[in-house]
Structure 1
């Protein structure tokens, strides 16, 4: 992968694909007649969300050497996300993901990542570790730990962050538990995955996840216990997403923020977490206090949940400011 002397606000690493979403809501997939095509993959969407807020962002990932791979490059450029570290894998197709949309809270996902997703074929020797070190925020996910060589590459990137000269803004571990992705890698035993999660948390400064993901990482479910367990594992900031109960964020210095959910008419909740992540990075980069950062991230998630798409639905700063101003 190409070297660069440029310093990015955010570099994300991991999953990419094409989302094929129904254009009708409340219709089972066998009866859907029309679909929309969107850029997908959680860390990719986080980069898009941050770029929409004016941040410089890049993605480290891999696609198939196929038309959908071409589409990924075109979409990234359209969203203002640098694609220099997005490379093709001839052996595997670019993944696609279908979903069903049953608002307000049922959005089944169907991942087509067989026989193996190209984004799990990131090799350690291909990484531009100098760029990873320089990035103000580096964002990786649990899925990146699910199979080799992605696992070793992800851990190598995390270790490189520890050797950064100037202290970066954050190294974020999106806990991102997808058990179906582990079955062909390390097995789908949560205890086995927890071993790799524990190693990653030794290098990360921020951990973000919902209650189920926090349980995979720590073995506990109660939100405050989850946050404390994440802090004990090595991070400085634990962000626990609780769905209808809002978000709990606890910093090692004792600062705590509890933010209730923003009420919206949900259309598709699948991209809300990625919008939350991009806005969380924006707040961390801006040096905002914890409550403001989490409140903005929560608002970003709400806006995307009220829209059909994920990547193209990411809000602008003006939209976020307007929603926050309305209380």
Structure 2
């Protein structure tokens, strides 16, 4: 069947409150600017800005913050038919950020009983998932029930309908009870996904170890379903591993860094966009790295998502 969407993401949408007063601790900060946040929401916002047709599955609070997120998704032309409004009083997550220096940014997260973790399996619908080319599952969606089971149901429906699954590891320690628990569910979903994207540290969490080695990681995961694994190493660049043995190295691009967060979401959005548009994996690595460089140079994450023209211009200037 002809697909209506290039990618639908499952997981969290939240509120980012980024410090307007830079280079001072949050204790002294009085002014923050509000944005939409949450890794999977940011990814589909970014991919839409880059030209893909995107949708989102998640649960929002029935209040002003929830309406702020919904309105923003709709303004950015992200399909919201998979979005559910919480009716049990759960609130949207809040992330307060302090930007102390270009190399040090901290996040104070409020995620106790947040609405996105109450998305239930009954709120995941096969007819919606069948309409996408890719399904993206965020690792944070696996942290607690019933969101965990909702994400697993989405995975099963994607498998049933032969839809490629992308897992963006998106590890947030404060959402989980233990590293052991995280590793169980990360491995369960990773083994049934087609594409995996994460930092070296996040793959260490998946393996429940410290100082993991890329080749050992991918050799183990390639025993299962994954065909492509992207492991990011920050300023050292990133590596894409194919099941056939190919290894592609991608460099990092230079930027005038304002903050350290948001890079992963923009990287995933641009990498997926490149793949969907038929670009090579090498080009997709370039798109991802360039998009990450652009976003860390700006104040927000969702608002800072670049266009393809901006990505190509940065690549042309630095290659």
How big is the shift at 1:143?
Answer: 1.0
Task: Tell whether 2:213 aligns with 1:222.
Answer: yes
Q: SS where residue 313 of structure 1 aligns?
A: coil
After the TM superposition, list the runs of 4 or more consecutive aligned residues in structure 1 that deviate by more than 6 angstroms: none
Query: 1:56 is matched with which residue?
Result: 53
State how 1:135-150 maps to structure 2 within 5 Å: 135-150=132-147
Of 231, 248, 273, 2:264 maps to: 273
More displaced 10-residue stretch of structure 1: 266-275 or 229-238: 229-238
Q: Do 2:165 and 2:195's aligned partners in 1 also have CA atoms closer than 8 Å?
A: yes
Of 178, 181, 186, 2:172 maps to: 178
State how 1:242-261 maps to structure 2 within 5 Å: 242-261=233-252
Q: Do 1:7 and 1:131's aligned partners in 2 also have CA atoms closer than 8 Å?
A: no
Query: 2:95 is matched with which residue?
Result: 97
Question: Which consecutive residues of structure 1, in runs of 5 or more, have no partner in the other structure?
Answer: 183-187
Task: Tell whether 2:9 aligns with 1:12.
Answer: yes
Distance 1:74 1:6 in 2: 25
How big is the shift at 1:175?
Answer: 1.2
How big is the shift at 1:227?
Answer: 3.0
Distance 1:56 1:295 in 2: 21
Q: SS where residue 288 of structure 1 aligns?
A: coil
State how 1:31-70 maps to structure 2 within 5 Å: 31-70=28-67
Query: 1:310 is matched with which residue?
Result: 301
How big is the shift at 1:50?
Answer: 0.1
How big is the shift at 1:102?
Answer: 2.3
Distance 2:283 2:170 in 1: 24
Of 190, 194, 199, 2:183 maps to: 194
Query: 1:78 is matched with which residue?
Result: 75
Distance 1:323 1:244 in 2: 16
Q: Do 1:161 and 1:171's aligned partners in 2 also have CA atoms closer than 8 Å?
A: yes
Of 108, 122, 125, 1:125 maps to: 122
Query: 2:22 is matched with which residue?
Result: 25
Distance 1:6 1:290 in 2: 23
Distance 2:103 2:237 in 1: 15
Give the CA RMSD over aligned residues. 1.5
Residues 217, 232 of structure 1: alpha-carbon distance in 2 compared, 3 angstrom cutoff: farther
Distance 1:76 1:314 in 2: 13
Query: 1:213 is matched with which residue?
Result: 202
How big is the shift at 1:189?
Answer: 2.2
1:216-267 deviation per Cα after TM superposition (whole angstroms, max 9, x unaligned):
1124512332333332343111110111211011011222211121111111
Query: 1:185 is matched with which residue?
Result: none
How big is the shift at 1:11?
Answer: 0.3
What count of residue pairs does the alignment treat as equivalent?
A: 314
Q: SS where residue 74 of structure 2 aligns?
A: helix
Question: Which consecutive residues of structure 2, in runs of 5 or more, have no partner in the other structure?
Answer: none
Q: Do 1:269 and 1:304's aligned partners in 2 also have CA atoms closer than 8 Å?
A: no
How big is the shift at 1:118?
Answer: 0.7
Q: Do 2:19 and 2:29's aligned partners in 1 also have CA atoms closer than 8 Å?
A: yes
Q: Do 1:69 and 1:94's aligned partners in 2 also have CA atoms closer than 8 Å?
A: yes
Distance 1:110 1:213 in 2: 20
How big is the shift at 1:6?
Answer: 6.5
